[in-house]
């Protein structure tokens, strides 16, 4: 098989894998559509609403596990599972801190996943390191801006440090997403920050609740998780391609 035939074969394989990935994501898209169809502003908190909200994330975890052949549940799949726990907790206002804790664990798992050998390692240039610093400065600035509003909340003695830790972990996750050089992973991490920022501004009464505030939070959230999951699948695909090239 000459070089041209090999290249054509690789393109066909990539196209087939992309189609297979899109097909495996259909349950995620359908469950997301069901969530937005059933959700209303006055929806009561219930086990059913928690299940409908977390279903798309659980289905994403299943997709990631199926594509990595069930090799590990501690990577992105594990982060998705903890995210689903957080989704369920946030249905009830009194479980907000538990939900935030579950998402904090998810960001920590994502961070470790982005450092694993599943993702190709790249040396960081001075420009990239400066970008890391900018992200942490923006995260710190947002926390300082949020601080007086947190102090007005009930259980502020627990909420103030908890939000500080959470902001650090989500920024760390986004910084390490840059390191992966996976476009989907990077945009997913940034959209996660957009979603959580929008949620924080509304929950802590920094801004007047927006008419479509919930929709903005959930659309960016589901899209963020989708991109992180796809980035993980693509990283595994690229790793396999590299292994094949190395052994040839």
User: How far does CA 27 lie from the centroid of its chain?
Assistant: 18
What's the whole-number mean pLDDT along residues 146-170?
94
What is the residue whose two structure tokens read 């798992």?
A: 109
The helix/strand count (H/E) of the chain reads as: 9, 0
Q: Mean pLDDT highest for which of 29-33, 63-67, 155-159, 239-243?
A: 29-33
pLDDT of the residue at 14? 67
Q: How far is CA 31 from CA 34, 36, 55, 60, 222, in A?
A: 5, 9, 7, 11, 11
pLDDT of the residue at 170? 97
Q: Exposed, middle or buried: residue 190 (CB in 10 Å: 0-12, 13-18, 19+)? A: middle
**Whether pLDDT at 1 is above 80:** no
Sorted by where each begins, the domain ranges of the chain are 3-247
Contacts 24+ apart (CB under 8 A), 138-145: 138/171, 139/167, 139/168, 139/170, 139/171, 140/167, 142/167, 142/197, 143/167, 145/206
pLDDT tens digits for range 66-112: 887 766 667 899 999 999 999 999 999 999 999 999 999 999 999 99
């Amino acid at each position: 098989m000459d070089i041209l035939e090999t290249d054509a074969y690789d393109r066909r394989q990539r196209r087939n894998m992309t189609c297979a990935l899109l097909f495996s994501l259909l349950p995620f898209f359908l469950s997301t559509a069901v969530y937005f169809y059933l959700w209303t502003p006055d929806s009561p908190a219930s086990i059913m609403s928690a299940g409908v909200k977390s279903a798309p994330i659980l289905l994403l975890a299943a997709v990631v596990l199926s594509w990595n052949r069930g090799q590990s549940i501690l990577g992105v799949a594990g982060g998705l599972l903890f995210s689903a726990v957080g989704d369920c907790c946030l249905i009830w206002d009194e479980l907000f801190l538990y939900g935030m804790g579950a998402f904090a664990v998810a960001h920590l798992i994502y961070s470790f996943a982005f450092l694993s050998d599943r993702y190709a390692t790249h040396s960081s240039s001075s420009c990239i390191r400066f970008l890391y610093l900018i992200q942490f400065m923006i995260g710190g600035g947002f926390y300082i801006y949020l601080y007086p509003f947190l102090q007005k909340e009930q259980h502020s003695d627990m909420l103030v440090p908890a939000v500080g830790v959470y902001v650090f972990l989500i920024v760390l996750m986004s910084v390490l997403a840059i390191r992966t050089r996976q476009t989907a992973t990077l945009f997913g991490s940034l959209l996660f920050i957009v979603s959580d920022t929008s949620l924080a501004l509304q929950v802590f009464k920094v801004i007047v609740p927006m008419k479509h505030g919930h929709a903005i939070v959930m659309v960016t959230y589901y899209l963020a998780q989708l991109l992180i999951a796809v980035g993980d699948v693509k990283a595994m695909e690229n790793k396999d391609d590299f292994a094949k090239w190395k052994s040839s």
